[in-house]
Chains A and B, each alone.
Chain A
Amino acid sequence: MNMAVVTETLQLRLTPPVRYVLRWADTALIHAQRLAEWCGHGPVLEEDIALTNMALDLVGQARGLLTLAGQLEAQGRATPFDEDALAFWRDERDYLNLTLVEQPMRRSSAHSPGGDFADTVLRNLLLASWFKQGWKGLLTSSDAELAAVAAKALKEARYHQQHAADWVVRLGDGSDESQQRMRAALLRAWPYTAEMFVDDAVDTAAAASGLGPARSALRAAWLAEVGQVLDEATLALPADPQSVSTGTQGVHSEHMGFILAEMQSLQRRFPGGVW
């Protein structure tokens, strides 16, 4: 397929199926970007490698999904936007990831204190369990490529979940300090979990057409799995969130712009640059 080098912000036709695929793709992509911040900064060498391995798994998932989103978006146009164009040449409003993955994880900010390893392992647990349920549902997608991405990604998510759960239990059921930090991380992340399970027209259309599960369908299995880990970690399940974040609608927190600036600057300075 012939791909043109993109040099300006994309004008996209974000139909419901494109939005649906971009939500999965962008959540994987931005989560990977946050995990990659650990590269060279892990608490121990082995965990540093583990975190970056996971980031690379997620980038791989995002690549497959972005390619697919480009093909769905291009209906009738000769040259679809490729994975790089979609990763690096969209405006903030056209990224449709969960707000949770944008939040600072390694570094604190004035708006979001934290930057604790506890935030990382806790977020990994919440997301890996969510992805696991998502990939399971997508195995039977009406889109063969989406089903193929899901089949590969499911194996990766299973490992990510196990690795994260292991840490959450170790630290939650660890020393007084580690438990207190895990509890704080859980309370920081929990408000953002509502968005993982709230349906809108995009979910309804995807479920109706067989493209993939609505987010609400993921909740029961997710809560059972996460609840079991938290229980083992002696961490109480927080109360249900009172509001729903809006990253999957393209309305992001203040952190998103900084992530994109770091992510996109190289491609925008050297369009089509490869190594």
Chain B
Amino acid sequence: MSDAKQEWPLWEVFVRPKAGLDHKHCGSLHASDAKMAIQMAREVYTRRQEGTSVWVVRSSDITASDPADKDMYFDPMEDKVYRHPTFYELPDSVNHM
């Protein structure tokens, strides 16, 4: 595996724990194509009944924000507490806010 060109591409794996919940990112793996990636995801990430559905995405197809932009992108939200819906009185019957 010294030749970088022979490395299998990297895939990001998303597992849905049960129907109704979202697929959640749980890790990555190497596979030669999508079909193999799905099988390997099943082997590596659902061995303990973690999933009912698996998605795989080529890591290279993901566009990520630049860590260097962190200050500019995310820090301005620090002092905007009014964006959190914590100033409302909620009835007891609303459990999941």
Contacts and interface: CB of A to CB of B under 8 A. Distances in A.
Do A and B assemble together? Answer: yes
Contact of B8 (A44, A49, A50, A163): A44
A163 B30 CA distance: 16
Contacts of B40: 46-47, 50
B29 interface: yes
Contacts of B84: none
Contacts of A47: 40
B66 interface: no
Contacts of B26: none
A53 interface: yes
B70 to A, nearest CB: 32
Given A44-B8, A44-B30, A46-B31, A163 B39 contact: yes
B83 interface: no
B3 to A, nearest CB: 14
Contact of A53 (B30, B32, B35, B47): B47
Interface in A12-56: 44-47, 49-50, 53
Interface string A190-208: 0000000000000000000
A163 B8 CA distance: 18
B31 to A, nearest CB: 7
A156 interface: no
Nearest to B8: A44
Given A46-B44, A49-B43, A53-B47, A166 B35 contact: yes
B39 A53 contact: no
A50 B8 CA distance: 17
Nearest to B1: A44
Contacts, number: 26
B30 to A, nearest CB: 6
A45 B28 CA distance: 12
A46 B35 contact: no
A189 B30 CA distance: 30
Given A44-B8, A44-B30, A49 B44 contact: yes
A166 B8 contact: no
Contacts of B30: 44-46
Interface string B19-33: 000000000011110
Contacts of B31: 46
A38 B72 CA distance: 50
Interface in A51-77: 53
Interface string B43-78: 110010000000000000000000000000000000
B43 A53 contact: yes
A105 B29 CA distance: 26
A53 B42 CA distance: 10
Given A44-B30, A49-B43, A50-B39, 5 more contacts: A46-B30, A50-B40, A50-B43, A53-B43, A166-B36
Interface of A: 44-47, 49-50, 53, 162-163, 166, 170
9 contacts: A44-B8, A44-B30, A45-B30, A45-B44, A46-B29, A46-B40, A50-B40, A166-B39, A170-B32
The 4 closest A-B pairs by CB, nearest first: A46-B40, A50-B43, A49-B43, A46-B29
